[in-house]
């Protein structure tokens, strides 16, 4: 009896051990499938529609299970660390500079159809914020800041004008030359046909056009300004305080920049406006005289007889000014 009980207990213990081993063996998770084990590009923070994607906006995370190959920007696996870094940079570079078509929440895997890359159809329209328009301005090496403007920079568009000379005014009139801003703090969308924020300009080639983002009213103003004078671009700092918006700038005249030009104009204006000495024609019988009066006095000068016969009705000489007095003796 006692032996049988020991046998039963031993048998039960052996069964429990076998069941535990089997549970541990067959309860291990199944190996992750190849698709579920892939990595893809995700956004590190929420991006709204129209946002330009920057390198800091991107990271790698496991691709959603059951994904169809080619739907996302998948990570390419490389055999070594340096090669993997190079492969990761190549994958990220496909997305940097692209524009988000629709909102992407933080940590969301980026579908290929959710972004528009430079060169794709509709890229410029996707870059524009709602209610904004794009307008292109012709620039030179000087007016375009020496080719140092890039997409994503913010600029002011400044108009320089030379007005027609007013009759009677000096050619150096300080108010013939003026400059004023047409639009302020607008975003650069493209340089020539370059739309990427991280692209390098073509070596040895300066930009000929700059495309900026403006409101419809500002677009009309820029078009009109191109007919009035020359346009230049002034780059703004990226470190701006949104709590202290800058007041709109007014026009600047030549006299505000050059006190010397203002002094020359003032001297010329005084010279032109000085009164000319009055001239008086004096007739005494057959004698004539013209006197100038710069200080209010009369200085007579004899003149030859106007009628060879010496009559009482001489003909007065024509002078450009003033009063005529005649006396007969």
Would you call 38 exposed, middle or buried from its count of C-beta atoms within 10 A (0-12, 13-18, 19+)?
Answer: buried
In three-state secondary structure terms, 98 is coil
Mean pLDDT computed over 258-279 = 65
**Do residues 98 and 134 both lie within one domain?**
no
- Asked whether the predicted pLDDT for residue 314 surpasses 50, the reply is no
- Phi then psi for 311, rounded to 5 degrees? -65, 180
CATH number of the CATH domain containing 62: 3.90.1210.10
Mark whether 202 and 137 lie in a shared domain: yes
Could you tell me the sign of the dihedral formed by the alpha carbons of 104, 107, 112, 115, in that order? positive
Q: Average pLDDT over the chain, rounded to whole?
A: 75
- Mark whether 164 and 206 lie in a shared domain: yes
Report yes or no on 282 lying in a domain.
yes
Question: Could you tell me if residue 216 is inside a domain?
Answer: yes
Tokens of 31: 């190996």
> Domain check: are 45 and 92 in the same one?
yes
Q: How far apart are CA 109 and CA 70, in angstroms?
A: 12
Q: Which of 82, 116, 150 is the last residue of a domain?
A: 116
Euclidean distance between CA atoms 149 and 151, whole angstroms: 7
Q: Using alpha carbons only, how large is the chain's radius of gyration in Å?
A: 44
- Alpha carbons within 13 A on the beta-carbon side of 10: 6
183 and 257 in a single domain? The answer is yes
Model confidence at 146, in pLDDT bands (50, 70, 90)? low
The pLDDT value recorded for residue 124 is 82
Q: Quick check: 163 and 137 in contact, CB under 8 A?
A: no
Domain boundary among 225, 246, 269: 269
Same-domain check for residues 197 and 225: yes
Query: What local confidence, expressed as pLDDT, does residue 109 receive?
Result: 94
Do 84 and 207 belong to one domain? no
> Which of 320, 318, 285, 324 has the alpha carbon at shortest distance from 302?
285
Count structural domains, the chain: 4
More confident residue, 315 or 89: 89
**Which structural domain, as residue segments, surrounds residue 110?**
39-116
As a whole-number percent, the residues of the chain with pLDDT over 70 amount to 60
Tell whether 159 and 182 lie within a shared domain: yes
Q: Which DSSP helix (H) or strand (E) runs through 78? A: none
Residue 49 domain flag? yes
Is residue 236 located within the same domain as residue 263?
Answer: yes
pLDDT at 57 over 80: yes
């Amino acid at each position: 009896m006692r032996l049988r009980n020991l046998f039963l207990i031993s048998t039960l213990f052996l069964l429990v051990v076998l069941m535990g081993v089997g549970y541990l063996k067959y309860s291990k998770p199944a190996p992750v499938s190849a698709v579920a084990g892939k990595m893809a590009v995700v956004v590190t923070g929420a991006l709204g529609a129209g946002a330009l994607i920057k390198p800091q906006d991107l990271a790698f995370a496991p691709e959603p299970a059951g994904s169809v190959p080619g739907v996302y920007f998948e990570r390419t696996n490389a055999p070594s660390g340096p090669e993997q870094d190079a492969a990761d940079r190549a994958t990220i570079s496909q997305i940097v500079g692209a524009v988000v078509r629709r909102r992407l929440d933080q940590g969301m895997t980026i579908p290929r159809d959710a972004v528009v890359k430079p060169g794709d159809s509709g890229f410029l329209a996707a870059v524009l914020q709602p209610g904004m328009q794009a307008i292109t301005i012709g620039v030179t090496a000087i007016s375009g800041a020496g080719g140092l403007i890039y997409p994503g920079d913010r600029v002011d568009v400044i108009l320089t004008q030379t007005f027609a000379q007013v009759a009677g005014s000096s050619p150096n009139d300080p108010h013939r030359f003026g400059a004023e801003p047409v639009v302020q703090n607008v975003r650069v969308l493209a340089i020539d046909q370059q739309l990427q924020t991280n692209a390098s300009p073509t070596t040895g080639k300066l930009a000929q056009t700059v495309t900026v983002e403006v409101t419809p009213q500002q677009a009309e103003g820029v078009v009109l300004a191109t007919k009035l004078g020359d346009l230049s671009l002034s780059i703004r700092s990226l470190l701006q305080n949104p709590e202290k918006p800058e007041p709109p700038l007014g026009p600047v005249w030549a006299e505000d920049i050059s006190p010397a030009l203002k002094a020359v104009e003032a001297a010329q204006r005084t010279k032109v406006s000085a009164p000319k000495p009055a001239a008086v024609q004096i007739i005494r019988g057959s004698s004539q005289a013209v006197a100038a009066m710069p200080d209010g006095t009369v200085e007579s000068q004899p003149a030859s007889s106007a009628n060879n016969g010496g009559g009482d009705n001489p003909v007065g000489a024509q002078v450009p000014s003033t009063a005529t007095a005649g006396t007969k003796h």
